[in-house]
Amino acid sequence: PFEAAIFDLDGVIVDTAKFHYRAWKRLAGELGFAFSERENEQLKGVSRMESLDLLLRAGGITDLTAEQKEDLASRKNEWYKELLETLTPDDVLPGVRSFLGRLHSRGIRTAIASASKNAPLILEKVNIRPLFDVVVDGNSTARAKPDPEVFLQAARLLTAEPAACIVFEDAAAGVEGAVRAGMRVVGIGDRELLARAHLTVTSFEQLEPVYLLSHIGIAGY
Ligand code: BG6
Ligand code: MG
Protein backbone atom coordinates (compact mmCIF):
# COMPACT_ATOMS: atom_id res chain seq x y z
CA PRO A 1 0.00 0.00 0.00
CA PHE A 2 1.17 3.53 -0.69
CA GLU A 3 1.81 5.61 2.38
CA ALA A 4 3.83 8.59 1.21
CA ALA A 5 4.18 10.98 -1.72
CA ILE A 6 7.54 12.66 -2.30
CA PHE A 7 7.71 15.72 -4.54
CA ASP A 8 10.56 17.39 -6.32
CA LEU A 9 10.18 21.19 -6.01
CA ASP A 10 11.58 23.02 -9.06
CA GLY A 11 9.39 22.27 -12.07
CA VAL A 12 6.94 20.09 -10.10
CA ILE A 13 5.45 22.30 -7.38
CA VAL A 14 6.54 25.67 -8.77
CA ASP A 15 7.64 26.60 -12.28
CA THR A 16 11.11 27.72 -11.14
CA ALA A 17 12.77 25.45 -13.74
CA LYS A 18 12.27 28.28 -16.25
CA PHE A 19 14.07 30.72 -13.91
CA HIS A 20 17.04 28.36 -13.56
CA TYR A 21 17.21 28.16 -17.34
CA ARG A 22 17.04 31.95 -17.76
CA ALA A 23 19.86 32.47 -15.27
CA TRP A 24 22.10 29.78 -16.78
CA LYS A 25 21.44 31.11 -20.27
CA ARG A 26 22.45 34.59 -19.14
CA LEU A 27 25.67 33.23 -17.69
CA ALA A 28 26.40 31.34 -20.92
CA GLY A 29 25.76 34.57 -22.84
CA GLU A 30 28.26 36.46 -20.71
CA LEU A 31 30.80 33.69 -21.27
CA GLY A 32 30.19 33.98 -25.03
CA PHE A 33 28.16 30.94 -25.99
CA ALA A 34 24.53 30.02 -26.62
CA PHE A 35 22.74 27.55 -24.39
CA SER A 36 19.61 25.80 -25.64
CA GLU A 37 16.57 24.59 -23.72
CA ARG A 38 17.42 21.09 -24.88
CA GLU A 39 20.93 21.33 -23.39
CA ASN A 40 19.37 22.68 -20.22
CA GLU A 41 17.39 19.44 -19.72
CA GLN A 42 20.42 17.66 -18.28
CA LEU A 43 20.92 20.41 -15.67
CA LYS A 44 17.48 19.78 -14.19
CA GLY A 45 17.60 18.09 -10.81
CA VAL A 46 21.38 18.38 -10.65
CA SER A 47 23.17 20.43 -7.96
CA ARG A 48 24.31 24.00 -8.59
CA MET A 49 28.04 23.18 -9.00
CA GLU A 50 27.40 20.11 -11.13
CA SER A 51 25.04 22.16 -13.28
CA LEU A 52 27.81 24.72 -13.76
CA ASP A 53 30.23 21.98 -14.82
CA LEU A 54 27.71 20.73 -17.41
CA LEU A 55 27.16 24.28 -18.67
CA LEU A 56 30.89 24.96 -19.00
CA ARG A 57 31.37 21.68 -20.81
CA ALA A 58 28.60 22.63 -23.25
CA GLY A 59 30.47 25.88 -23.90
CA GLY A 60 33.85 24.17 -24.27
CA ILE A 61 35.30 25.98 -21.24
CA THR A 62 37.69 23.72 -19.35
CA ASP A 63 40.34 25.88 -17.75
CA LEU A 64 38.72 27.55 -14.75
CA THR A 65 39.95 27.47 -11.16
CA ALA A 66 37.70 26.37 -8.30
CA GLU A 67 37.50 30.00 -7.19
CA GLN A 68 36.40 31.21 -10.63
CA LYS A 69 33.73 28.52 -10.68
CA GLU A 70 32.46 29.54 -7.25
CA ASP A 71 32.23 33.09 -8.53
CA LEU A 72 30.25 32.09 -11.64
CA ALA A 73 27.88 29.90 -9.61
CA SER A 74 27.16 32.68 -7.17
CA ARG A 75 26.53 35.16 -9.99
CA LYS A 76 24.03 32.74 -11.49
CA ASN A 77 22.43 32.29 -8.08
CA GLU A 78 22.07 36.07 -7.59
CA TRP A 79 20.24 36.40 -10.93
CA TYR A 80 18.14 33.38 -10.08
CA LYS A 81 17.22 34.86 -6.70
CA GLU A 82 16.16 38.12 -8.37
CA LEU A 83 13.71 36.05 -10.42
CA LEU A 84 12.53 34.24 -7.28
CA GLU A 85 11.59 37.61 -5.78
CA THR A 86 8.72 37.77 -8.29
CA LEU A 87 7.15 34.51 -6.98
CA THR A 88 3.72 34.65 -5.36
CA PRO A 89 1.30 31.91 -4.19
CA ASP A 90 -0.27 32.06 -7.67
CA ASP A 91 2.90 30.49 -9.08
CA VAL A 92 2.17 27.09 -7.58
CA LEU A 93 1.52 24.89 -10.61
CA PRO A 94 -2.09 24.05 -11.57
CA GLY A 95 -3.69 21.25 -9.61
CA VAL A 96 -0.90 20.94 -7.02
CA ARG A 97 -2.74 22.30 -3.98
CA SER A 98 -5.85 20.28 -4.56
CA PHE A 99 -3.82 17.13 -5.28
CA LEU A 100 -1.97 17.56 -1.95
CA GLY A 101 -5.26 18.12 -0.15
CA ARG A 102 -6.74 14.94 -1.60
CA LEU A 103 -3.63 12.95 -0.59
CA HIS A 104 -3.83 14.24 2.97
CA SER A 105 -7.50 13.43 3.24
CA ARG A 106 -6.57 9.81 2.44
CA GLY A 107 -3.87 9.77 5.13
CA ILE A 108 -0.94 9.88 2.69
CA ARG A 109 2.12 11.67 4.15
CA THR A 110 3.97 14.18 1.97
CA ALA A 111 7.53 15.43 1.53
CA ILE A 112 9.64 17.72 -0.62
CA ALA A 113 12.87 16.17 -1.95
CA SER A 114 14.82 18.90 -3.76
CA ALA A 115 18.44 19.47 -4.75
CA SER A 116 18.01 23.20 -4.20
CA LYS A 117 19.58 25.27 -1.45
CA ASN A 118 16.92 27.88 -2.23
CA ALA A 119 14.06 25.49 -1.38
CA PRO A 120 13.13 27.12 1.98
CA LEU A 121 12.93 30.56 0.32
CA ILE A 122 10.77 29.26 -2.55
CA LEU A 123 8.39 27.37 -0.23
CA GLU A 124 7.95 30.50 1.86
CA LYS A 125 7.39 32.78 -1.16
CA VAL A 126 4.57 30.62 -2.53
CA ASN A 127 3.27 29.85 0.97
CA ILE A 128 3.07 26.08 0.55
CA ARG A 129 5.35 24.78 3.33
CA PRO A 130 2.38 23.83 5.59
CA LEU A 131 1.16 21.31 2.99
CA PHE A 132 4.28 19.13 3.47
CA ASP A 133 5.10 16.99 6.47
CA VAL A 134 8.82 16.96 5.69
CA VAL A 135 11.30 18.99 3.60
CA VAL A 136 14.64 17.59 2.48
CA ASP A 137 16.73 19.87 0.25
CA GLY A 138 20.20 20.80 -0.95
CA ASN A 139 21.09 22.13 2.50
CA SER A 140 20.77 18.73 4.16
CA THR A 141 22.06 16.32 1.50
CA ALA A 142 25.59 15.59 0.35
CA ARG A 143 25.00 13.75 -2.92
CA ALA A 144 22.89 15.15 -5.74
CA LYS A 145 20.35 13.30 -7.89
CA PRO A 146 20.64 10.79 -9.59
CA ASP A 147 21.96 9.62 -6.21
CA PRO A 148 18.94 8.32 -4.25
CA GLU A 149 20.03 10.03 -0.98
CA VAL A 150 17.47 12.87 -0.97
CA PHE A 151 14.57 10.45 -1.56
CA LEU A 152 15.75 7.91 1.02
CA GLN A 153 16.17 10.66 3.59
CA ALA A 154 12.63 11.89 2.92
CA ALA A 155 11.22 8.36 3.26
CA ARG A 156 13.09 7.85 6.53
CA LEU A 157 11.74 11.10 7.98
CA LEU A 158 8.23 10.10 6.88
CA THR A 159 8.78 6.63 8.41
CA ALA A 160 7.76 5.01 5.12
CA GLU A 161 9.49 2.15 3.34
CA PRO A 162 10.80 3.12 -0.13
CA ALA A 163 8.40 0.64 -1.73
CA ALA A 164 5.50 2.52 -0.11
CA CYS A 165 6.54 5.86 -1.66
CA ILE A 166 5.58 7.52 -4.93
CA VAL A 167 7.91 10.21 -6.26
CA PHE A 168 6.87 13.08 -8.56
CA GLU A 169 9.69 14.37 -10.74
CA ASP A 170 10.24 16.57 -13.81
CA ALA A 171 13.96 15.79 -14.29
CA ALA A 172 15.60 12.72 -15.79
CA ALA A 173 18.23 12.76 -13.00
CA GLY A 174 15.44 12.83 -10.40
CA VAL A 175 13.50 9.97 -12.00
CA GLU A 176 16.71 7.94 -12.02
CA GLY A 177 17.41 8.72 -8.35
CA ALA A 178 13.91 7.71 -7.31
CA VAL A 179 14.12 4.44 -9.26
CA ARG A 180 17.46 3.73 -7.55
CA ALA A 181 15.78 4.43 -4.20
CA GLY A 182 13.34 1.61 -4.97
CA MET A 183 10.32 3.91 -5.33
CA ARG A 184 7.56 4.24 -7.92
CA VAL A 185 7.91 7.37 -10.03
CA VAL A 186 5.46 9.64 -11.81
CA GLY A 187 7.18 11.85 -14.39
CA ILE A 188 5.77 15.34 -14.80
CA GLY A 189 6.51 16.44 -18.37
CA ASP A 190 7.79 14.84 -21.55
CA ARG A 191 7.36 11.07 -21.73
CA GLU A 192 10.47 10.59 -23.88
CA LEU A 193 12.76 12.64 -21.64
CA LEU A 194 11.42 10.82 -18.57
CA ALA A 195 11.36 7.36 -20.08
CA ARG A 196 12.37 5.65 -16.81
CA ALA A 197 9.26 6.89 -14.97
CA HIS A 198 6.52 4.35 -14.33
CA LEU A 199 3.89 6.81 -15.53
CA THR A 200 4.16 10.26 -17.13
CA VAL A 201 1.61 13.06 -17.01
CA THR A 202 1.84 16.69 -18.09
CA SER A 203 0.06 18.15 -15.05
CA PHE A 204 -1.41 17.34 -11.65
CA GLU A 205 -4.77 18.32 -13.09
CA GLN A 206 -4.66 14.99 -14.91
CA LEU A 207 -4.07 12.99 -11.74
CA GLU A 208 -6.69 11.54 -9.46
CA PRO A 209 -5.04 10.08 -6.34
CA VAL A 210 -7.39 7.12 -5.98
CA TYR A 211 -6.75 6.09 -9.56
CA LEU A 212 -3.02 6.71 -9.24
CA LEU A 213 -2.62 4.83 -5.98
CA SER A 214 -4.50 1.82 -7.24
CA HIS A 215 -2.86 1.68 -10.68
CA ILE A 216 0.77 2.70 -10.51
CA GLY A 217 1.81 -0.35 -8.55
CA ILE A 218 0.57 -2.67 -11.27
CA ALA A 219 3.33 -4.02 -13.51
CA GLY A 220 3.10 -2.96 -17.12
CA TYR A 221 0.87 0.01 -16.50
C1 BG6 B 1 17.17 21.54 -8.61
C2 BG6 B 1 17.04 22.13 -9.98
O3 BG6 B 1 15.90 21.44 -8.03
O4 BG6 B 1 18.00 22.34 -7.79
C5 BG6 B 1 18.41 22.35 -10.58
O6 BG6 B 1 16.28 21.27 -10.81
C7 BG6 B 1 19.26 23.19 -9.64
O8 BG6 B 1 18.26 22.99 -11.83
C9 BG6 B 1 19.33 22.52 -8.27
O10 BG6 B 1 20.58 23.33 -10.15
C11 BG6 B 1 20.12 23.34 -7.26
O12 BG6 B 1 19.42 24.52 -7.01
P13 BG6 B 1 19.99 25.79 -6.25
O14 BG6 B 1 18.75 26.63 -6.03
O15 BG6 B 1 20.58 25.30 -4.95
O16 BG6 B 1 20.99 26.43 -7.12
MG1 MG C 1 12.78 19.53 -10.85
What band does 215 get if pLDDT is binned at 50, 70 and 90?
low
The answer to whether residue 96 scores a pLDDT higher than 80 is yes
Mean pLDDT of 196-221: 73
What rounded mean pLDDT belongs to the chain?
93
Distance between CA atoms of 217 and 22, rounded to whole angstroms? 37
Atom from ligand 1 closest to the CA of residue 11: 6
Tell me, using a 6 A CB cutoff, whether residue 42 lines ligand 1: no
The answer to whether residue 115 scores a pLDDT higher than 60 is yes
Tell me, using a 6 A CB cutoff, whether residue 22 lines ligand 1: no
Residues 6+ away with beta carbon under 8 Å from 154 = 4, 6, 111, 112, 113, 134, 136, 165
| Residue bearing the bigger pLDDT, 206 or 55 | 55
SS3 state at 10 = strand
Tell me, using a 6 A CB cutoff, whether residue 125 lines ligand 1: no
Cα 213 to middle of ligand 1, angstroms: 28
| Residue bearing the bigger pLDDT, 218 or 169 | 169
In angstroms, how far is CA 178 from the centroid of its own chain?
11
Distance between CA atoms of 187 and 185, rounded to whole angstroms? 6
Atom 12 of ligand 1, residue of closest alpha carbon: 116
Sheet holding 184-188, edge to edge: 134-136, 109-113, 4-7, 165-169, 184-188, 199-201
- pLDDT tens digit string along 38-71? 999 999 999 999 999 999 999 999 999 999 999 9
Mean pLDDT of 105-117: 95
Q: Please tell me the predicted confidence (pLDDT) of residue 89.
A: 97
- pLDDT tens digit string along 125-139? 999 999 999 999 999
Atom 1 of ligand 1, residue of closest alpha carbon: 45
Q: Please tell me the predicted confidence (pLDDT) of residue 218.
A: 39
Q: Taking phi first (over 0 means left), then psi (-120 to 50 degrees means alpha), and beta for anything else, what does residue 213 get?
A: alpha
pLDDT over 90 percentage in the chain: 90
Nearest alpha-carbon partner for 49 in 30, 67, 69: 69
ipTM over 0.90 threshold: yes
Cα 12 to middle of ligand 1, angstroms: 12
Residues 6+ away with beta carbon under 8 Å from 187 = 169, 170, 175, 193, 194, 196, 197, 199, 200, 201
* Phi, psi (deg, nearest 5) at residue 159: 50, 50
